[in-house]
Amino acid sequence: MTDTSYPLYLDLAAGLFLLTAVGVLWRHQLAAMIRLFALQGAALAAIVAILGVHQHSLELILVALGLGVLRAGILPYLAARALGDSAAEARETRPVVNVAASLLAAAALTLLAYAVTQPLVALAPSPATAILPAAVAVVLIGFFTLVTRRRALSQVVGFLLLDNGITATAFLAAAGVPLIVELGVSFDLLLVVLVLQVLTTRLRTAFGSSDLDELRELHD
């Protein structure tokens, strides 16, 4: 990879990374949302791998492989399993904010991300930090998905988007946090998804569906 094509590949991967997040807001079907999330995991792994190749760092390339297995393989698999047999018809029917408004919100959040990340880019301008706004935009879109979707599984996907965005920020800004912390983070993430999967199963046994609209018993 030459020095001129490096920013190009990086921009391409970051574009895919952001586009998949917007795609999650656009699609209704939970199965499609999980596929988009898997694609985003692959884009994340590609970003890290490109950074690794550019910096001639074997460690980063290996981390990229691990990230790819976890976020494009294991996590989507677990999410799909939580979906159960009802995969075909499981849809996000009544989001708090409808799709058109969600897409507008995604555009606004992306602009916001560009505004707030200005000091981050200014600290060390480089092709890698130039795409930090895309990573932060994914964080914001993930958070937005988390608070505006009613299905248990869409909320999980929102949380995972948020986490992908944060991981991308970590690698773009600082070539990753220390390995022990990164391992702890990945392990924690895996456990959170497992916990959520078990809870979804129990919720389904108790409620008959995992539509969080049914969660109305606790309030003041």
Partner 1 sequence: MTILLLLAPIGLPLAAALLYAVAGWRPRTTAWAGVASTALLAADALGLAGTVTRAGPVHTAGAVLRADALSAWMLLGVAAVALLACWASPAYLAAGHTSAAQARWYAILLHLFIAAMATAVLAGNLGILWVAVEATTIVTAFLVGHHRSRTALEAAWKYVVICSAAIAIAFLGLVLLYYAAQHAGLSGEEALDWTVLAGHAGQLDPAVTRIAVGLAVIGFGAKAGLVPLHAWLPDAHSQAPAPVSALMSGVLLPVALYAVLRVKSVADPALGAGYLRTLLTILALATLALAAVLLIGQRDFKRMLAYSSMEHMGLIALAAAIGTRLAIAALLLHMAGHGLAKTVAFLSSGHILHRHAGSRIADVRALATRMPLLAGLFGLAVLALLGFPPAALFASELGIAHAGADAGMSWATAAAFVFVVVAFAAITAHTGRMLLGPPPAAAADGTAPAVFAPATALPLVAGLLGVVALGITLGPVAGLLQAAASTVGAP
Q: What letter does residue 217 receive in the DSSP assignment?
A: S
Residue 145's alpha-carbon distances to 56, 142, 151, 165, in angstroms, are: 36, 5, 11, 13
**Calpha distance 30→32 (Å, rounded):** 5
Q: What letter does residue 211 receive in the DSSP assignment?
A: B
Q: Using CB under 8 A, which of 20, 110, 148, 155 touches partner 1?
A: 155
Comparison of 12 and 207: residue with beta carbon closer to partner 1: 207
Applying the rule CB under 8 A, the residues between 116 and 135 that interact with partner 1 are 116, 119-120, 122-124
Asked if 64 contacts 73 with a C-beta cutoff of 8 angstroms, the reply is: no
Comparison of 20 and 164: residue with beta carbon closer to partner 1: 164
Comparison of 8 and 116: residue with beta carbon closer to partner 1: 116
Residue 51's alpha-carbon distances to 5, 44, 56, 127, 160, in angstroms, are: 12, 11, 8, 10, 22
Tokens of 91: 């849809």
177 binds partner 1 (CB under 8 A): yes
Residue 133's alpha-carbon distances to 122, 142, 182, in angstroms, are: 12, 14, 21
101 binds partner 1 (CB under 8 A): no
Candidate segments 28-36, 70-78, 101-109, 193-201, binder of partner 1 by CB under 8 A: 193-201
Contacts with partner 1, residue ranges (CB under 8 A): 116, 119-120, 122-124, 139, 143, 146, 152, 155-156, 159, 162-163, 166, 169-170, 173-174, 177-178, 180-181, 184-185, 188, 191-192, 195-196, 198-199, 202-203, 206-207, 212, 215, 217-218, 220
